[in-house]
Amino acid sequence: MSVVDRQEWDVVVVGAGGAGLRAAIDARERGARTAVICKSLFGKAHTVMAEGGIAAAMANVNEHDNWQVHFRDTMRGGKFLNQWRMAELHAQEAPDRVWELETWGALFDRTKAGKISQRNFGGHEYPRLAHVGDRTGLELIRTLQQKIVSLQQEDFRETGDYESRLKVFQECTVTRVLKDGSRVSGVFAYERETGRFFVLEAPAVVIATGGIGKSFKVTSNSWEYTGDGHALALLAGAPLLNMEFVQFHPTGMVWPPSVKGILVTESVRGDGGVLRNSDGKRFMFDYVPDVFKEKYAESEEEGDRWYEDPDNNRRPPELLPRDEVARAINSEVKAGRGSPHGGVFLDVSTRMPAEVIRRRLPSMYHQFKELADVDITAEAMEVGPTCHYVMGGIAVESDTAAARGVPGLFAAGEVAGGMHGSNRLGGNSLSDLLVFGRRAGWHAAEYSAALAFERPAVDDVQVDTAAAEALRPFSAEGPAPGAEDGRPPENPYTLHQELQQTMNDLVGIIRREGEMEQALEKLADLRVRARRAGVEGHRQFNPGWHLALDLRNMLLVSECVARAALERTESRGGHTREDHPTMDRTWRNINLLCRLVDPTGGLAATDPVRGQIDLSRETTEPIRPDLLALFEKEELVKYLAEEELYE
């Protein structure tokens, strides 16, 4: 069929956010010729949206901090469902990853002694987040971007070509991971600008595509977050882990409608902001769950003292992990104590002088001023939960970031599952990107080097199939676009909106069995209609076409979320069941794995009830005793089943 341009690389990284770039840097530094593919321009990835900071136990602000405390906080935040080895590696390596950024030119805010300053955040026992005002993600991505450029400058000096060893293919989308037998052999992609197809042949592919938020209506995520990496892995035969855990960030903007969902950083609360309902009450004091009772203040006075004297007071409950705060806000609004636009009030104006607010929260000040006409130094913000992060993702080996079951496939960052268990702590995301981005790049480079003389071959049939699949929206199944046949082509934008509404309403922050069954039916219907998604125009920078292709991924991932959420009959972290409102210790060590029904990666029209996803359970590996010993017995009994405790 079509002649498709092909290039050979050692490692291909899909995604140019924090994890992807960190992986690419490591792979290139280990000698692998590395290609990075990203949907947006280089440096625009969703990582720029991260505001609060990078969690790393550097103990610059509170000397008692160390990796063990960080590990404990992470496990508690994830309600002990975390892949514990990942949490361990993450806590141990995060400080090195942050310090390394400084050697690449990053400029974090400083302590008086000239070290990296660290701030408080929900769920972290000590001030732990390295930050730059409230634009830490921007600093992270720019630093990595500039490090890539500096490596390219090195290559230019040596070879006369900036892109000889490290190249960024910006504004390109990968639609399929290609395989040679069970092993990865490359990727199939198209250039958004021209619509041209190309194949990058490589023995190792690192997926670092981020999350899935664009399947939900109210989200803090950008258009890129269509679950591409999740879908690519599924289609390549890799399982997804615990997809029911979706984090709703407690504080998104709620007004005006066009900005609904845009993130209001947790630093607002870390720096002293408080949540109030329409009665003016700091309601979070009523929502401290039993497992956290000893760790949080019981009175406003104590909570307020904590900011100045954290060693002798307990933290205010506004700084509970995100899932708790999001649920609390949801309940207040439901009980009729919400703000005029259906949120609650987040107030810093009465807590800090205007000057301090502008200095510590510059982009929040700017964001509310510009988008909502609200001066946060003078009045309270209105906030409500917004879909923010998916804890579930590609099942990976903890140490190598290798995707389970597909040799040559690696995953890091939000797209990888396990690290955060059922709920991620703020600040742990950026450190996750760096720690596992590096590990993915490292092991991908090693894996690729081992195959240097027996590179997996790219199968022409797969390339042709992928090309045909990508072109289908131009000649949607049934009638050609526009032709009258009783079945007009579907508008991809409409399908997308319906999908978002479905996921938001039926598989949202509070879930019920009946609604999720309804959601699965709706998804089945959308899946059928999506096959007829048709587009106008040609292949050159055609957003309608791009969306039609992304729909496949969103539908696959949404089905995973809905199926897994229906299966897990308990409430834990980012998964709240109204019909099973409590955490069930017997679920503590159960992972839910999603796999594609058709193991060949085909997506033929399937039975609507059964769908495209197979769900299976597995029991997790017991937590290593020395790690378990970091916790008090009284705490562990709240999480672990009896038999786990006495093993």
Partner 1 sequence: MSSYEARFKVWRGDVKGGGLEDFKVEVNEGEVVLDIIHRLQSTQAPDLAVRWNCKAGKCGSCSAEINGRPRLMCMTRMSVFTPEETITVTPLRAFPVVRDLVTDVGFNYTKAREVPAFVPPEGVGPGEYRMMQEDVDRSQEFRKCIECFLCQDTCHVVRDHEENKAAFAGPRFLMRVAELDMHPLDAAAESGLDRKKTAQDEHGLGYCNITKCCTEVCPEGIKITDNALIPLKERAVDRKYDPLVWLGSKIRRRSS
Catalytic residues: 322
Per-residue DSSP letters for 503-537?
HHHHSSSSB-HHHHHHHHHHHHHHHHHHTTB---S
Adjacent-strand bridge partners of 410:
206, 402
- Could you give the 3-state DSSP secondary structure of residue 317? helix
**Nearer to partner 1 by C-beta: 176 or 249?**
249
544 to 563, contacts with partner 1 by CB under 8 A? 544-545
- Choice from 31, 159, 493, 602 touching partner 1 (CB under 8 A): 493
- Choice from 299, 350, 497, 616 touching partner 1 (CB under 8 A): 497
Residues 567 and 618: beta-carbon distance below 8 Å: no
Using rule CB under 8 A, residue 224 touches partner 1: yes
Residues 166 and 148: beta-carbon distance below 8 Å: yes
Residues 319 and 123: beta-carbon distance below 8 Å: yes
Tokens 């039993």 correspond to 290
Residues 122 and 322: beta-carbon distance below 8 Å: yes
Total length of the chain:
647
Least distance (Å) between residue 107 CB and partner 1: 5
Residues 34 and 165: beta-carbon distance below 8 Å: yes
Start-to-end Cα distance in the chain: 60
Residues 6+ apart with CB under 8 A from 3: none
Taking CB under 8 A as the binding criterion, the range among 17-25, 203-211, 542-550, 619-627 that sits at the site for partner 1 is 542-550
Least distance (Å) between residue 473 CB and partner 1: 11
Q: How many Å apart are CA 50 and CA 305, to the nearest integer?
A: 28
Using rule CB under 8 A, residue 375 touches partner 1: no
Taking CB under 8 A as the binding criterion, the range among 22-30, 365-373, 380-388, 458-466 that sits at the site for partner 1 is 365-373
5 to 44, contacts with partner 1 by CB under 8 A? 40-44
Using rule CB under 8 A, residue 505 touches partner 1: no
- Could you give the 3-state DSSP secondary structure of residue 403? strand
Least distance (Å) between residue 363 CB and partner 1: 7
- Choice from 147, 230, 420, 439 touching partner 1 (CB under 8 A): 147
Chain centre distance of CA 430: 10
Taking CB under 8 A as the binding criterion, the range among 98-106, 273-281, 301-309, 575-583 that sits at the site for partner 1 is 98-106
Using rule CB under 8 A, residue 109 touches partner 1: yes
**Nearer to partner 1 by C-beta: 544 or 601?**
544
Tokens 């309804």 correspond to 518
Q: Using CB under 8 A as the criterion, what x/- string covers residues 238-257 for binding partner 1? A: -----------------xxx
Chain centre distance of CA 472: 29
**Nearer to partner 1 by C-beta: 162 or 285?**
162
- Choice from 541, 584, 614, 635 touching partner 1 (CB under 8 A): 541
168 to 197, contacts with partner 1 by CB under 8 A? 193
- Choice from 107, 457, 468, 637 touching partner 1 (CB under 8 A): 107
Using rule CB under 8 A, residue 535 touches partner 1: yes
How many CB atoms are closer than 10 A to CB 478? 14
Q: How many Å apart are CA 492 and CA 479, to the nearest integer?
A: 16
**Nearer to partner 1 by C-beta: 197 or 296?**
197
| Ranges assigned E (strand) in 95-140 | 118-119, 129-130
Residue 472 per-residue DSSP state: G
- Choice from 85, 92, 196, 223 touching partner 1 (CB under 8 A): 223
Using rule CB under 8 A, residue 95 touches partner 1: yes
Residues 441 and 27: beta-carbon distance below 8 Å: yes
Binding site for partner 1 (CB under 8 A): 40-44, 46, 48-49, 58, 95-96, 99-100, 102-105, 107, 109-110, 113-115, 132-133, 135, 138-139, 142, 146-147, 149-150, 152-153, 156, 162, 193, 222-224, 255-259, 262-263, 363, 366-367, 370-372, 491-494, 497, 535-538, 540-545
